[in-house]
Structure 1
Amino acid sequence: MEARLMNGAGNRFILADVRGQVARFNPAREAVRAMAHDHHFDQLLVLEDSDSADAFMRIWNADGDEVGACGNGTRAAAWAMMQAHGSRQVSIGTAGGLLLARDAGPMTVSVDMGVPRLDWQDIPLARPMDTARLDYACEADGVRIEAPGAVSMGNPHAVFFIRDVEALPVARLGSEVEMDPLFPERVNAGFAQIHDATHIRLRVWERGAGITAACGTGACAALVAAHRRGLAERKASIMADGGELFVEWREEDDHVILTGPVEDEGPVTLDLR
């Protein structure tokens, strides 16, 4: 099976288009993990036929678990679809909802990620709690972090606000937060340093993938969580390890818009049986 290796701000994906095929792609967890080991990607993206969108996209993390949302992956898939169709916008169905993407310039794509989900049951959390400031703390390697904001962008995020994110033991803390019983579906852990109201430095421990060069839904969650705490405006630049993303939480309709670069690293051959 011919597929493409792509990335969005360094967040790497394998994108396979199986539209028109009769058999549904249902890989074993071990098969996805083997692909991730061989090709060094964060998520496997598979485009399938859809009756209500240009395609339906299924998403697997590098650990083999299927998940509901991937912001940068949606942008990468949308770019490939627009190139193939000769269009400037596409619609992509996901388990997290219908997403609309558009061409935003050379090798740049914007995607409407919809309305953030902020109720404790929507994250989800194991018990009722104020999601703007969780009553939660974690400690690793002598470093204590606490009171994250919780946001679902189709997948769960806990965003901690840190004074010096570069010095933070992200892997140790992120792995602890991901598996905490407060988060019954595990959680993506974001570590945000507010430079000013429109510039945020972000590092992310992604559930099922570990430290990633960038995380699109994580960038969206960081902006939403920061704005809810009065730390950022509704529109900001999010600087990830792999590059810069731009997020706007629109006031008029509550939708979150994610914009950033896409890179096509070329074809790869996969055994998707």
Structure 2
Amino acid sequence: MSYLCIVIKTKGNINSPTEYKMTKMIKFTKMHGAGNDYIYVDTTKYPIESPEKLSVAWSAPHTGIGSDGLVLIGSSDKADFNMRIFNADGSEAKMCGNASRCIGKYLYEYGLTSKTAVTLDTLSGIKVLKLHVEDGRVDTVTVDMGIPADMQEQTVEACGRPFTGTTVSMGNPHLVIFVDDIKEIDLENIGPKLENHPLFPGRINVEFAQVLENGKIRMRVWERGSGITQACGTGACATAVAAALTGRAGRTSDIIMDGGTLTIEWDEKNGHVMMTGGAVRVFDGEIEIR
């Protein structure tokens, strides 16, 4: 097995003779779900301090590992395992659908569990992961994302034009805006304006979506704290819910994002949103903290 070794200077002066006195190696795994990539660390083996700062340093594409953020896997007295997520800017997220699927694959394939139904303790509550295993490998994962909340129509202005969308909370806040042609949206400029709009004092994730044929929806996302990403699991769920609420789609949708497709089902009986998609291990590595 090959390892990537990167030295991250977290404090001190590089010219200081004390800079190299204290070091420790942290093993990590880089994984992605539909292109939404994070760095995963098992903190039961490798406890780390200041994850906010490390997420910023390690997420950097040229001087760090490169990712959308840092995910910590830990123990829990409420569930089988605990998950904490830190965005690329160091802010902590309450939930990440893509990361939860990757954790399911990590736990099973690295021998932390033999269960195919795993409970995960997150800041937005306990999530249940159903692992679909083939030949000893986790192919896809279905996550019970819970019941959506705070759903309402909202009109906001950004870059000199009004946008009418639907707010949906999937344990974290989303604003879903449907458009006729998603290619015409300048997400790089509009995204940060909407994320930091005064109407959303805690900031918000932003999805632009275009309804296609046969239950398919094309979506692009500006993630709170990370910017444009290849995919967002909670955003895909929010988009499917908003489409059903506004009569644009049925209860099951395939959400097509820049990095891949997720299947979202909003159960009419219990109100829960089920998200199914793949998870990919990119590589394992070691990183040195000084």
Q: Contact 1:112–1:257 at 8 Å: present in 2 too?
A: yes
Q: Contact 1:82–1:89 at 8 Å: present in 2 too?
A: no
Indicate the SS of the match to 1:196. coil
Instruction: Point out the structure with max Rg over C-alpha.
Output: 2
Q: Distance in 2 between matches of 1:178 and 1:233?
A: 28
Equivalent position of 1:123 in the other structure: none
What displacement does 1:154 show?
0.9
Query: Out of 104, 117, 126, which is 1:78 matched to?
Result: 104
Equivalent position of 1:69 in the other structure: 95
Q: Distance in 2 between matches of 1:148 and 1:243?
A: 23
Q: Contact 1:171–1:211 at 8 Å: present in 2 too?
A: yes
Q: Contact 1:160–1:190 at 8 Å: present in 2 too?
A: yes
2:147 is aligned with 1:115:
yes
Equivalent position of 2:44 in the other structure: 19
Q: Contact 1:145–1:160 at 8 Å: present in 2 too?
A: no
Query: Out of 44, 50, 54, which is 1:31 matched to?
Result: 54
Query: Out of 10, 29, 32, which is 1:4 matched to?
Result: 29
List per-residue Cα deviations over 1:230-252 (Å, max 9, x = no partner). 11111010000001110011111
Unaligned 5+ runs, structure 1: 119-130
Equivalent position of 2:287 in the other structure: 270
2:118 is aligned with 1:90:
yes
What displacement does 1:52 show?
1.6
Equivalent position of 1:60 in the other structure: 86
Q: Distance in 2 between matches of 1:71 and 1:197?
A: 24
Change (3 A) 1:201 1:110: same
Q: Contact 1:75–1:101 at 8 Å: present in 2 too?
A: yes
Number of residue-to-residue matches in the alignment:
256
What displacement does 1:190 show?
0.3
Could you tell which deviates more after superposition, 160-169 or 183-192? 160-169
Unaligned 5+ runs, structure 2: 1-25
Q: Contact 1:42–1:62 at 8 Å: present in 2 too?
A: yes
List per-residue Cα deviations over 1:69-111 (Å, max 9, x = no partner). 0000000001111222232121110001100001235521110
Equivalent position of 1:122 in the other structure: none
TM-score (norm. length: structure 1): 0.89
Q: Contact 1:193–1:202 at 8 Å: present in 2 too?
A: yes
Equivalent position of 2:159 in the other structure: 139
Query: Which protein, 1 or 2, shows the higher relative CO under an 8 Å CA cutoff with sep ≥ 6?
Result: 2
- Structure 1 ranges of 4+ moved more than 4 A: none
What displacement does 1:39 show?
1.5
Equivalent position of 1:253 in the other structure: 270
Q: Contact 1:179–1:186 at 8 Å: present in 2 too?
A: yes
Q: Distance in 2 between matches of 1:219 and 1:166?
A: 18
Change (3 A) 1:28 1:112: closer
Q: Distance in 2 between matches of 1:69 and 1:155?
A: 6
Q: Contact 2:69–2:87 at 8 Å: present in 1 too?
A: yes
> Amino acid of the residue matched to residue 146 of structure 1?
F
2:265 is aligned with 1:239:
no
Q: Distance in 1 between matches of 2:264 and 2:272?
A: 10
TM-score (norm. length: structure 2): 0.84
Identical residues among aligned pairs (%): 38
Q: Distance in 1 between matches of 2:204 and 2:262?
A: 21
Indicate the SS of the match to 1:171. helix
Q: Distance in 2 between matches of 1:134 and 1:105?
A: 41
Equivalent position of 1:165 in the other structure: 182
Q: Distance in 2 between matches of 1:270 and 1:201?
A: 37
List per-residue Cα deviations over 1:218-241 (Å, max 9, x = no partner). 000001111111111110100000
Could you tell which deviates more after superposition, 182-191 or 194-203? 194-203
> Amino acid of the residue matched to residue 131 of structure 2?
D
List per-residue Cα deviations over 1:108-131 (Å, max 9, x = no partner). 11100101112xxxxxxxxxxxx4
Q: Contact 1:99–1:113 at 8 Å: present in 2 too?
A: yes
Query: Out of 165, 174, 183, which is 1:148 matched to?
Result: 165
Q: Distance in 1 between matches of 2:268 and 2:105?
A: 27
List per-residue Cα deviations over 1:49-75 (Å, max 9, x = no partner). 101211111110010011100000000
Indicate the SS of the match to 1:217. helix
> Amino acid of the residue matched to residue 211 of structure 2?
I
> Amino acid of the residue matched to residue 48 of structure 1?
G
Relative to its length, the structure with more strand (as a share) is 2
Q: Distance in 2 between matches of 1:237 and 1:201?
A: 9
